[in-house]
């Protein structure tokens, strides 16, 4: 009886171990969810959210509901996504769309997902681009100006990057610079047009009221020499938390928005009239993932290199010009 009881106990233990091993071998669920909104803060119901793993080429569609701006989907850890892999989000709603990448971190993987991953859609014309202020360091030449910089960070095209939330401008360091991740790869021009900056700050009250926030769109050469292309200043009036300031940067009539190979696009934020012993917090990403970003004009040629249609048009113009010159040489009497 003792031997029989021992045998049963061994069998039970073995079954338990096998069950534990089976459970451990199963993939841990990895969930992603959040809300989709327009840049003015209104909800975007029933969005289309598609995700692609750029490392494995697997694709998925998130679950949504016609009456809500919520989206969610679940993947299997180890089979659908792993740490350091890049997920590409393609979001469409109400005629607006956004495509951006997100690199999965070990913390997100261990925590079971990316929670409250909210998405803000930015309205753009076909040729406009959006550039986000980020908390990531930049490899661009540092601007040679007379100001103390609180930041020299990346100005990232098309998507937000980094894990920071905010930074501060102070009387001692009133300027923050953000540089594109690469210089112009060929000669190009934005024309003589207006850029728009959307900058989110903390609540404005007390001594901050009446000070000014200046945004300048700049060009840097390889030595860091600065050319102001467009700029404007807004008066900081009393406002509640996470205030959005829309600043239209008007073309600088004394310069041209032309870039040569190796010139860098950059943006400077400058707190003017900063009171002593006071800080102004500016948010890369505020509550509900509301970003600070810059919109280029609709004449954007596709910095850092023109898009294919622009190149084709430019090449066609050169061919026509060359043909005209050749024809003139063959027919000198045509004048």
pLDDT in tens, 274-287: 999 899 999 998 76
Q: Are 194 and 251 in contact (CB under 8 A)?
A: yes
Residue 84 located in a structural domain? yes
Clarify whether residues 214 and 263 are in a common domain.
yes
Residue 310 located in a structural domain? no
What pLDDT is attached to residue 33?
Answer: 95
Range of 110's domain? Answer: 29-121
The burial class, CB within 10 Å (0-12 / 13-18 / 19+), for 224 is middle
Comparison of pLDDT for 161 and 145, the residue scoring more = 145
- Please name every residue paired with 214 in a beta bridge, in sequence order, or none if there are none: 233, 270
Which one-letter DSSP state was computed for residue 24? H
> Does 328 score more than 60 pLDDT?
no
Residues, the chain: 335
Clarify whether residues 281 and 167 are in a common domain.
yes
d(CA 132, CA 119): 14
Q: Are 157 and 267 in contact (CB under 8 A)?
A: no
- The last residue of one of the domains, among 121, 142, 176, is 121
Q: Can you tell me whether residue 301 is helix, strand or coil?
A: coil
Clarify whether residues 214 and 284 are in a common domain.
yes
The arithmetic mean of pLDDT across residues 118-127, rounded, is 85
What pLDDT is attached to residue 18?
Answer: 46
Residue showing tokens 């007390």: 206
What pLDDT is attached to residue 6?
Answer: 42
Clarify whether residues 48 and 163 are in a common domain.
no
Q: What CATH number does the domain containing 96 carry?
A: 2.60.40.10
Clarify whether residues 58 and 175 are in a common domain.
no
Q: What is the distance of C-alpha 189 from the center of its chain?
A: 22
Residue 192 located in a structural domain? yes
Give the tokens for residue 105: 């971190």
The arithmetic mean of pLDDT across residues 25-37, rounded, is 79
Clarify whether residues 88 and 146 are in a common domain.
no
- Hey, what's the torsion of the CAs at 41, 44, 47, 53, to 10 degrees? 0
Task: Please report how many Cα atoms fall inside a 13 Å half-sphere around the Cα of residue 68, on the Cβ side.
Answer: 9
What pLDDT is attached to residue 12?
Answer: 46
Clarify whether residues 40 and 144 are in a common domain.
no
The burial class, CB within 10 Å (0-12 / 13-18 / 19+), for 324 is exposed
Residue 19 located in a structural domain? no
What pLDDT is attached to residue 51?
Answer: 95
- DSSP assignment of 179-206 equals EESS--SS-EE--S--EEEEEEES-B-G
Clarify whether residues 73 and 134 are in a common domain.
no
Give the tokens for residue 222: 């390889």
Mean pLDDT score of the chain: 84
- The last residue of one of the domains, among 99, 121, 143, is 121
> Does 311 score more than 70 pLDDT?
no
- The last residue of one of the domains, among 97, 121, 145, is 121
> Does 23 score more than 70 pLDDT?
no
Clarify whether residues 154 and 35 are in a common domain.
no
Clarify whether residues 204 and 143 are in a common domain.
yes
Give the tokens for residue 255: 């310069």
Q: Are 50 and 59 in contact (CB under 8 A)?
A: yes
Clarify whether residues 85 and 143 are in a common domain.
no
What's the domain count of the chain? 2
Clarify whether residues 108 and 135 are in a common domain.
no
Q: What CATH number does the domain containing 196 carry?
A: 2.60.120.260
Residue 289 located in a structural domain? yes
Beta strands 175-180 and 149-157 are: parallel
d(CA 182, CA 262): 8
> Does 1 score more than 50 pLDDT?
no
Residue 17 located in a structural domain? no
């Amino acid at each position: 009886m003792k031997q029989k009881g021992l045998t049963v106990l061994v069998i039970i233990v073995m079954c338990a171990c096998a069950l534990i091993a089976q459970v451990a071998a199963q993939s841990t669920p990895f969930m992603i969810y959040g809300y989709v909104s327009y840049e003015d803060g209104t909800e975007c119901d029933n969005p289309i959210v598609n995700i692609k793993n750029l490392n494995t080429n697997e694709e998925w569609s998130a679950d949504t509901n016609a009456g809500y701006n919520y989206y969610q989907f679940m993947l299997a850890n180890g089979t659908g996504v792993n740490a350091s892999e890049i997920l590409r989000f393609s979001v469409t709603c109400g005629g607006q769309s956004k495509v951006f990448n997100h690199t999965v971190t070990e913390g997100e993987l261990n925590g079971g997902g990316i929670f409250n991953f909210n998405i803000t859609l930015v309205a753009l014309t076909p040729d406009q681009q959006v550039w986000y202020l980020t908390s990531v360091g930049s490899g661009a030449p540092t601007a040679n100006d007379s100001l103390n910089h609180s930041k020299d960070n990346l100005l990232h095209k098309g998507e937000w990057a980094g894990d920071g939330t905010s930074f501060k401008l102070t009387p001692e360091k009133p300027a923050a610079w953000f540089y594109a991740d690469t210089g112009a790869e060929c000669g190009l021009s934005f024309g003589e047009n207006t850029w728009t900056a959307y900058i989110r700050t903390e609540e404005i009250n007390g001594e901050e009221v009446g000070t000014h926030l200046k945004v300048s769109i700049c060009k840097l050469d390889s030595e860091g020499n600065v050319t102001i292309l467009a700029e404007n200043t807004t008066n900081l009036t009393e406002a509640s938390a996470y205030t959005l300031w829309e600043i239209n940067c008007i073309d600088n009539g004394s310069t041209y928005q032309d870039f040569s190979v190796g010139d860098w696009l950059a943006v400077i934020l400058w707190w003017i009239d900063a009171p002593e012993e006071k800080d102004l917090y500016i948010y890369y990403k505020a509550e509900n993932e509301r970003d600070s970003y810059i919109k280029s004009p609709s004449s954007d040629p596709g910095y850092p290199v023109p898009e294919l249609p622009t190149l084709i048009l430019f090449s066609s113009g050169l061919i026509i010009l060359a043909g005209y010159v050749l024809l003139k040489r063959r027919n000198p009497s045509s004048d």
